[in-house]
Structure 1
Amino acid sequence: MSHVPELAELDAFYEAELRPWLMEFEKKRRLYLAIAAGGILLAALPIAGLIWLGWQEYVLFVSFVTFVAAIAPLVFLGKKIEKELLARICGKLDFALDPKAGAMSIQPFSSLSLVPSYDTCSLDNAIRGKIDEVPFELCESHLQERRRNSKGRTYYVTVFQGLVGSAQFPKRFHGTTIVRRDGGFLASLFSSGKGERVKLEDPDFEKRFDVFSDDQVEARYLLTPGFMERVKRLDDLSDGAARLAFEGGRLLFAIGGGDRFTVSLFKNMGEIAHFRRMMADFALIFGIVRELNLAAKTRL
């Protein structure tokens, strides 16, 4: 598609189509929330009996089964709503949705240190389309690192959860430019002859980000005032977890901060917050790609 509506333009779509559909789940949400609350209280009784009345330890199994049975309907409802809401938004924007993210790879993001090192990787909900004729794709990513405790037992910790994506431009970039919060490994990597720190005219942007490039002139052309402003807004939205890179003909980005498409089941289904939170990421990504596309057409 040649035009992607801004966030404000989508409010009418929400009121006309999404809000009535979401409200169909409201009674069920309240019922399942009450069941979950009651089930948690019931699950606590065997534990209290074990502690104060000396019940047998097998009552812990009863407690566990009660807890799972109580919260399962609420969890399944949340997943159903998230999946269908994302599908409806993608349908409105004329984007393709692949729940399994089969064609996506985390390797380009890892090789540029846009995501931390990991041992297991899960990719879901790949979204593909065009922003002003620029092909893009993004998906949800969950990366975990394997660790061992003092007893030698293996456990996993989440090192990144958020969105990873790329946009493919018709003109290739001459160099590689990376924008990210922290230095460390990246700083040493680029100081070894592969690139240098880029000095920019936006003091707030420089305070937030480290920028390294092996083509200083191109980096300054790419990082226009408008582009930097949009990246700062994206960084705010992701609690300081936005990272980007320019390589070949691609812009690659990683936006941390947790599950970006989750729906809160503790709020009324009719609240626009469910929709706005999903669309806020989209709107800023659209703006960044548009800003960069303009620069690529007119300045590079």
Structure 2
Amino acid sequence: MEEKSRNMTDEHLSRQLRKSKGGKLGGKLLSLVGGVVAIAGIILGGNIVLVVIGGVILGLGQMVQGKSKDKASQQAFDAIAPDIVSAALENVQMSPTPHLLDAEDTNIPLPRHTHCSGSGYVRGTYRGLTTELCTVRLTEVNEVQREETGLWEKNEQPVYTGQWMLCELGQEFPTWLTIWPRERLDKLFSAKTIKTGSEVFDKRFNLSSDDEAAALRILTPGRMERILALADSSIGKFAVNLNPDGRVYIAVHSGRGFFDIGKGRESPAQLRQRFAHELHWFTDMIDAFRGV
């Protein structure tokens, strides 16, 4: 009976995903038309009317694309996410308030941004530990002057989208530590970082703390080995911040949120598998720090 119900849900969701593709295609066509009209206005000596009309059509196309994806994502979330989350967490709360996870209340390095927002908050307990996950988005707002009109406009650009999880480990630690990816420029300029003694780990990650000795006691060879193994199956570049009060933050710069349908090309079964894999990766990282 449960399998039959799931098949019916998947069939309905498949239809909605196909509709979403059609809506996104219509939005893209509108955006293309708007861009062509705006460019024509610029070519024709800065024809303000055409530029404005093109901008309006372009904005409408982008809005249609966004609404179509948002609707399909919500339907996928409603149909799939509750079962996936309940399989990993107990005492699940959808959209809990107030939120426990604040991306800017950590030592995790973030790109320059004007606004930080979280969405899709879910809270529960993982093996008895309070856990909360959400999607974090950072945007940068700049003012630009349009050459064709001379008017100043605010331009908001996304600079970061990632999946975050907070877990309260229920114990205190002698120091904080942050692990984040070692980029090419870090290697080139020998950016200051705590060396762990593991050549493989030090090539892939930076490590910072206010107490080097205590941080290295926490980051044992076995723990580094588990982190490296998870790095090989990660869904994006990730960072971890462990606080003295027992909070551990896990941030993955995946370019998408939890339970995001992406381009909408996956079947409901494939979405279910991906969502479960992504959530399992985060709980595996929590396990790497349990009992530190």
Q: TM-score, normalised by structure 2?
A: 0.72
Q: Secondary structure at the residue paired with 1:170?
A: coil
Alignment of 1:73-88 (within 5 A): 73-88=64-79
Residue in structure 2 matched with residue 208 of structure 1 by the alignment: 204
2:123–2:133 Cα contact (<8 Å) kept: yes
Inter-CA distance 102–169: structure 2 relative to 1 (3 Å threshold): closer
Return the match for 1:115 from 110, 116, 134. 110
Alignment of 1:46-125 (within 5 A): 46-47=37-38, 50=41, 56-92=47-83, 93-94=85-86, 95-98=92-95, 102-109=99-106, 112-125=107-120
Q: Distance in 2 between matches of 1:224 and 1:91?
A: 32
Query: Deviation of residue 50 (structure 1)?
Result: 3.9
Q: TM-score, normalised by structure 1?
A: 0.71
Amino acid at match of 1:208: R
Inter-CA distance 255–45: structure 2 relative to 1 (3 Å threshold): closer
Give deviations 1:155-180, integer Å, cap 9, x for gaps.
Answer: 55544321232111123223322211
Amino acid at match of 1:78: K
Inter-CA distance 292–41: structure 2 relative to 1 (3 Å threshold): closer
Q: Secondary structure at the residue paired with 2:105?
A: helix
1:96–1:127 Cα contact (<8 Å) kept: yes
Residue in structure 1 matched with residue 261 of structure 2 by the alignment: 263
Inter-CA distance 41–81: structure 2 relative to 1 (3 Å threshold): closer
1:168–1:250 Cα contact (<8 Å) kept: yes
Residue in structure 2 matched with residue 226 of structure 1 by the alignment: 226
Residue in structure 2 matched with residue 9 of structure 1 by the alignment: none
Query: Deviation of residue 129 (structure 1)?
Result: 1.3
Q: How many residues align?
A: 269
Q: Distance in 2 between matches of 1:39 and 1:65?
A: 10
Q: Distance in 2 between matches of 1:247 and 1:259?
A: 26
Residue in structure 2 matched with residue 160 of structure 1 by the alignment: 160
Structure possessing the higher relative contact order (Cα contacts under 8 Å, 6 or more residues apart): 1
Amino acid at match of 2:207: V
RMSD over aligned Cα, in angstroms?
3.9
Residue in structure 2 matched with residue 199 of structure 1 by the alignment: 197
Alignment of 1:22-61 (within 5 A): 22-40=13-31, 42-43=33-34, 46-47=37-38, 50=41, 56-61=47-52
More displaced stretch, 221-230 vs 131-140: 221-230
Amino acid at match of 1:230: L
Q: Distance in 2 between matches of 1:42 and 1:34?
A: 12
Q: Distance in 1 between matches of 2:274 and 2:142?
A: 33
Q: Distance in 2 between matches of 1:277 and 1:156?
A: 30
Q: Secondary structure at the residue paired with 1:76?
A: helix
Q: Distance in 2 between matches of 1:61 and 1:153?
A: 13
More displaced stretch, 33-42 vs 80-89: 33-42
Amino acid at match of 2:255: G
Q: Distance in 2 between matches of 1:13 and 1:136?
A: 32
Give deviations 1:89-127, integer Å, cap 9, x for gaps.
Answer: 442123322288755322322xx1432454321111112
Identity over the aligned pairs, expressed in percent?
A: 13
Give 5+ residue unaligned stretches, structure 2.
87-91, 147-151
Query: Deviation of residue 264 (structure 1)?
Result: 3.5
Alignment of 1:4-23 (within 5 A): 16=7, 19-23=10-14
